[in-house]
Structure 1
Amino acid sequence: MTDWPQGYGLHVLQTVDSTLNEASRIAPTATGPVWIMAYNQTAARGRRGRAWANPVGNLAATLLMRPSGNPEQAALRSFVAALALCDACVAVSGRSDGLSLKWPNDVLLNGGKLAGILLEGTGQGRDLSHLAIGIGVNLSQSPPTDALEEGAVRPVSLLSETGADVMPEDFLTELAAAFARYETQFVTYGFEPIRTAWLDRAARLGEVITAKTARSETMGTFETVDAGGNLVLNTAKGRVAIPAADVYF
Structure 2
Amino acid sequence: MSSEALASRVELATVDSTNAEAFRQAPDLRGPLWILAGEQTAGKGRRARAWASPPGNFHASLVQRITEPPARLGLRSFVAALALYDAFQALTGLGAGFALKWPNDVLLNGGKLTGILLEASGQTLVIGIGVNLIAAPPAETLEPGAVAPVSLLAETGLRITPARFLDALAPAMEDWEARLRADGFAPLREAWLSRAARLGERIIARTGTETREGIFETIDHEGNLILRMSGGAIAIPAADVFF
Q: Please report how far the alpha carbon of residue 151 of structure 1 lies from its aligned counterpart in structure 2 after TM superposition.
A: 1.0
Mapped contact 1:60–1:135 kept (Cα < 8 A): yes
Please show how residues 138-153 of structure 1 align to structure 2 within 5 Å.
Answer: 138-153=132-147
Q: Quick one: which of 193, 214, 222 aligns to 2:216?
A: 222
Q: Distance in 2 between matches of 1:130 and 1:143?
A: 30
Mapped contact 2:199–2:218 kept (Cα < 8 A): yes
Corresponding position of 2:117? 118
Q: Please report how far the alpha carbon of residue 233 of structure 1 lies from its aligned counterpart in structure 2 after TM superposition.
A: 0.6
Is the counterpart of residue 192 in structure 1 residue 186 in structure 2? yes
Q: Quick one: which of 3, 6, 16 aligns to 1:5?
A: 3
Q: Distance in 1 between matches of 2:112 and 2:95?
A: 15
Mapped contact 2:203–2:241 kept (Cα < 8 A): yes
Corresponding position of 1:126? none
Once superposed, which parts of structure 1, at least 4 consecutive aligned residues long, lie more than 3 Å away? none
Q: Distance in 1 between matches of 2:143 and 2:4?
A: 40
Gapped regions of structure 2 (runs ≥ 5) = none
Q: Distance in 2 between matches of 1:81 and 1:162?
A: 22
Corresponding position of 1:106? 105
Q: Distance in 2 between matches of 1:148 and 1:53?
A: 11
Q: Distance in 2 between matches of 1:245 and 1:138?
A: 22
Mapped contact 1:55–1:142 kept (Cα < 8 A): no
Corresponding position of 1:81? 80
Identity of aligned residues (%): 55
Q: Distance in 1 between matches of 2:156 and 2:9?
A: 28
Corresponding position of 1:211? 205
Q: Distance in 1 between matches of 2:181 and 2:98?
A: 25
Mapped contact 1:54–1:143 kept (Cα < 8 A): no
Q: Please report how far the alpha carbon of residue 5 of structure 1 lies from its aligned counterpart in structure 2 after TM superposition.
A: 3.0
Q: CA RMSD in A?
A: 1.0
The letter of the residue matching 2:20 is: N
Q: Please report how far the alpha carbon of residue 146 of structure 1 lies from its aligned counterpart in structure 2 after TM superposition.
A: 2.0
Q: Name the SS for the 1:120 alignment partner.
A: strand
Corresponding position of 2:168? 174
Q: Name the SS for the 1:151 alignment partner.
A: coil
Is the counterpart of residue 154 in structure 1 residue 148 in structure 2? yes
Q: Name the SS for the 1:44 alignment partner.
A: coil
Mapped contact 1:138–1:158 kept (Cα < 8 A): yes
1:68-113 CA distance string (max 9 Å, x none): 3111001100001000001111111111311000000100000000
Structure that is richer in strand per residue: 1
1:133-153 CA distance string (max 9 Å, x none): 000000011111222111111
The letter of the residue matching 1:114 is: L
Please show how residues 45-60 of structure 1 align to structure 2 within 5 Å.
Answer: 45-60=44-59
Please show how residues 32-51 of structure 1 align to structure 2 within 5 Å.
Answer: 32-51=31-50
The letter of the residue matching 2:11 is: V
Q: Distance in 2 between matches of 1:160 and 1:84?
A: 22
Gapped regions of structure 1 (runs ≥ 5) = 124-128
Q: Please report how far the alpha carbon of residue 237 of structure 1 lies from its aligned counterpart in structure 2 after TM superposition.
A: 1.2
- Number of residue pairs matched? 241
Q: Distance in 1 between matches of 2:3 and 2:168?
A: 9
